[in-house]
Amino acid sequence: MNPRAARLELRNEGVVPSVNALANQLTDTREGPRDECGVFGIVAPGREVSKYSYLALYALQHRGQEAAGIAAADLGGNILTLRDTGLVAQVFDQNTLGSLHGDLAIGHVRYSTTGSGAWENAQPVYRSDRRELALAHNGNLT
């Protein structure tokens, strides 16, 4: 088999993406805003990370305006998560930020590409089985 035929065979099997597929990925033709979720993380021992997270999410507000959330924890401590629908300034105030103690935090502002704008889709998500976990992401987990 000649080299050109081998390349075409690989391309047809999906091993090597076609030039058209790459061009489509690089030239997004959607109309309107193309923002996706905003995600932030911080580790700052001795600092008020919830307030830094608030300011970071406020700056990232253009990335998502449906929901906002922060999960904070001390190194080796328990995780406290607060999330709700609405803008960052609507979800958090001085009292709620004061309750989010810790040396590390993750934050998220949501722009839904799939799913509804319901509270269940707000992040960070929290799970506590044998270990605690808070997760904020920009994408779809299947």
The number of beta carbons lying within 10 Å of the beta carbon of residue 8 is 13
What CATH number did the domain enclosing 42 receive? Answer: 3.60.20.10
Contacts of 137 (CB under 8 A, 6+ apart): 37, 39, 108, 123
In angstroms, the CA 93 to CA 54 distance is 9
pLDDT for the residue numbered 117: 74
Residues catalogued as catalytic: 37
pLDDT digits (tens, 9 = 90+) for 120-135: 888 999 999 888 999 9
pLDDT digits (tens, 9 = 90+) for 68-95: 999 999 887 899 999 999 999 999 999 9
Instruction: Give mean pLDDT, residues 97-121.
Output: 87
pTM surpassing 0.75? Answer: no
Instruction: Give the residue numbers spanning the domain of 11.
Output: 1-31
- Whether 66 and 117 share a structural domain: yes
- Whether 16 and 81 share a structural domain: no
In angstroms, the CA 92 to CA 70 distance is 9
- Whether 93 and 69 share a structural domain: yes
pLDDT digits (tens, 9 = 90+) for 7-57: 444 444 544 455 555 555 555 565 655 567 899 999 999 898 999 999 999
pLDDT for the residue numbered 73: 94
Instruction: Give mean pLDDT, residues 92-121.
Output: 88
Please report, to the nearest 10 degrees, the dihedral formed by the alpha carbons of residues 82, 87, 89, 92 taken in order: -10
- Tell me if the bond preceding 45 is cis, omega within 30° of 0: no
- Whether 48 and 14 share a structural domain: no
The number of beta carbons lying within 10 Å of the beta carbon of residue 74 is 14
